Chains A and B, each alone.
Chain A
Amino acid sequence: MSLERSDVEKIAHLARLAVSSDELDSVAGDLSTILQLMEQMNAVNTDGVIPMAHPLHMAQRLRPDEVSEIDERDHFQSIAPATENGLYLVPRVIE
């Protein structure tokens, strides 16, 4: 499977990445190479193999349900571009 320029444009938009139009062909080529590797792996018989969700052979550790965090709002908001009344301000979201 190989990607078209339009596929790359779509993927770039979804990931909010700016890919200039003269880069599109080379990016499409690179991504297609990755997909070719996937196809190669897809051809391997994996009957009876449990899909791996994580490279570590461990199970998720669980944490007790305790409140351990304190309020650090001022600290966090000191690096925010805009805040007001404790809220982070962002460009208006249109629904």
Chain B
Amino acid sequence: MQWETVIGLEIHAQLATRSKIFSGASTAFGAEPNTQACAVDLGLPGVLPVLNREAVVMAVRFSAAINADLERRSVFARKNYFYPDLPKGYQISQFELPIVGRGSVEILLEDGEIRTIGVTRAHLEEDAGKSLHGDFHGLTGIDLNRAGTPLLEIVSEPDMRSAKEAVAYARKIHQIVRYIGICDGNMQEGSFRADANVSVRRSGGELGTRAELKNLNSFRFLERAINFEVERQIDILESGGKVVQETRLYDPERDETRSMRSKEEANDYRYFPDPDLLPVELDDAFIAAAIEGMPELPDVRRVRFSEEYALGNSDAAQLTASRELADYYEATVEEGGDPRLAANWVTGELAAALNREGSDIGQSPITASMLAGLLQRISDNTISGKIAKQVFDAMWSSGGSADEIIENQGLKQITDSVALEGIVDEVVNANPSQVDAYRQADEKKQIKMLGFFVGQVMQASKGKANPKQVNELLRRKLTS
């Protein structure tokens, strides 16, 4: 039996505002419990929510970034349910008239195919607080610092057909919200969360019953949870059972999903327009100001990189993965680094070093202009690529410019032919048997054997000899 997987994602992106969506309390992460929960966030009587302009601006920017239909009039509604981390007994959200209408993004699949994934809508809402089930004498602790933090909930169409596609889509949204500076994308801190609606059906048949997967706080968990869930549903259907519509929690330790609660009752949210808030109306001037200064979007930048700097698709994609990295690369090129060389070093040596230290590009001890300085010395043959790695390591650990390090450590490439000839002569004289063997070998073998001599010369010169000149000199000396 052929089964087709159908996946839709609901992504909650915490908007990077300083204050909350409806109050002037701070949104800074990590504060002492309840020190950033004011009367509005606590839902005390007599308070009035007032909408944060910046949250609206950010929604407008997102709308522009995914080519969506921006709704000039949107309405806040109350979503009613009882839970201790929701003090008002309702969440202020948007229901019938969300601010962002239909849009789409393109995802690049592993085989190079590009797929368009529809975004149904995106709406503004407030986050809830946090429940802590620690040791509180059988009670639950509530921290309302997060209550009222602005969220943009981005709902996709059920357009994805595999866990890999779902991850590619989630990564794309993640990339976009970070590029346009509306969300820090930190998944550990919960700034970017994805829920997955997963169902399976017979190929081309009617949609199956879906399960909603929660607690997917990394792209890896998202992929694993979906894969587990698809298998689970197929097993049920193939053994003649029925999939139940429910919310399931992913347990990363056991790598499985399990039923959380039946949503039948919880789903009866009885939405109605919030009488505390008036409709949001956007005019041309507001929209123009909101999208002014929007950065170049990742897909556009990727295409430009591959054309302008003659980079392969994979390099261009890697370099534009985040705005910070793309900015770093372009700064390196602007400071005089050769574009191809810069691409190799940024995606190679630099990425590896950052990875080793678990830091990101913003924390790199080697600035773009420092890297450009190093690359220029490779391009003008002052140092070889091998020595350049040594200089790179020195820059990484103790700072300083490439020129300073090359000078202080005497790493300048030996291009003086007299000096090189001296070293080559020494090597030739010190290895008479290898020289004999070389002279008797055929041309093919000679090419292989030359490596031995080059290695010896490089060693004697501490890697500073110009490899090209060494090759030429050796060939001449060995054949004569």
A92 pairs with B139, CB closer than 8 A: yes
The one of B19, B53, B279 that contacts A53, using a Cβ cutoff of 8 Å: B279
Q: A69-B26, A87-B34 are in contact. Are A59 and B142 (CB under 8 A)?
A: no
Given contacts A59-B279, A62-B56, A68-B24, contact A88 B142 (CB under 8 A): yes
Within 8 A of A (CB), among B253-278: 260-261, 265, 268, 270, 273, 275, 277-278
How many Å lie between the Cα of A90 and that of B33 in the bound state?
15
Measured CA separation A63–B459 after assembly (Å) = 68
Check A92–B138 contact: CB distance below 8 A.
yes
A56 contact from B25, B139, B141, B278, Cβ within 8 A: B278
Residues of B within 8 A of A (CB): 17-19, 23-26, 32-39, 42, 44, 50-56, 75, 80, 82-84, 97, 131-133, 136, 138-144, 249, 260-261, 265, 268, 270, 273, 275, 277-281
A44 within 8 A of B: no
* CB closest residue in chain A, given B40: A69
Q: A67-B19, A67-B24 are in contact. Are A90 and B139 (CB under 8 A)?
A: yes
User: Which single member of B24, B36, B38, B270 contacts A66 (CB below 8 Å)?
Assistant: B24
Is the Cβ of A73 less than 8 Å from the Cβ of B17?
A: no
Contact: B140 with A85, CB < 8 Å? no
Option from A62, A88, A90 in Cβ contact (under 8 Å) with B34: A88
Known: A54-B278, A60-B277, A90-B139. 7 other contacts (CB 8 A): A53-B97, A53-B273, A58-B278, A60-B51, A64-B53, A65-B19, A89-B136
Answer yes or no: A47 CB below 8 A from chain B CBs: no
| A residues lining the B interface (CB < 8 Å) | 14-16, 53-54, 56, 58-69, 71-73, 76-77, 82, 84-93, 95
Cα distance, A75 to B133, chains bound together (Å): 25
The verdict on A67 contacting B26 (CB below 8 Å), with A59-B280, A60-B279 known, is yes
Q: Which residues of A contact B140 (CB under 8 A)?
A: 89-93
Can you list 29 residue pairs at the A/B interface with Cβ under 8 Å? Answer: A14-B80, A14-B265, A14-B268, A53-B279, A59-B278, A60-B280, A64-B53, A65-B19, A65-B53, A65-B55, A66-B19, A67-B18, A67-B19, A69-B36, A73-B35, A76-B44, A84-B136, A85-B33, A86-B35, A87-B34, A87-B136, A88-B141, A88-B142, A89-B136, A89-B141, A90-B139, A92-B133, A92-B140, A93-B131
Residues of A within 8 A of B26 (CB): 67, 69
Q: Are B80 and A62 in contact (CB under 8 A)?
A: no
Are A66 and B18 in touch, CB under 8 angstroms? Answer: yes
Query: How many interface contacts (CB-CB < 8 Å) are there between A and B?
Result: 126
- With a CB–CB cut-off of 8 A, which chain A residues contact B44? 76
Give the nearest-CB partner of B277 in chain A.
Answer: A60
Known: A66-B24, A76-B39, A76-B42. A95 touches B261 (CB 8 A): yes
User: Complex Cα distance A87/B129, Å?
Assistant: 11
Taking the closest CB of chain B, its distance from the CB of A2, in whole angstroms, is 19
7 tightest A-B contacts by CB? A68-B24, A87-B141, A65-B54, A59-B281, A62-B53, A86-B33, A69-B38
Residue ID in chain B nearest A14 by CB atoms: B268
A81–B80 Cα distance when bound, in Å, is 24
**Known pairs A54-B278, A73-B35, A85-B141; A62 contacts B136 (CB<8 A):** no
The residue on A at minimum CB distance from B276 is: A54
Which residues of the other chain, B, contact A66 by a CB distance below 8 angstroms?
18-19, 24
Contact with A86, one of B32, B249, B270 (Cβ below 8 angstroms): B32
- Interchain nearest-CB distance for B289 vs A (Å): 12
Residues on A with C-beta less than 8 A from B270 are 14
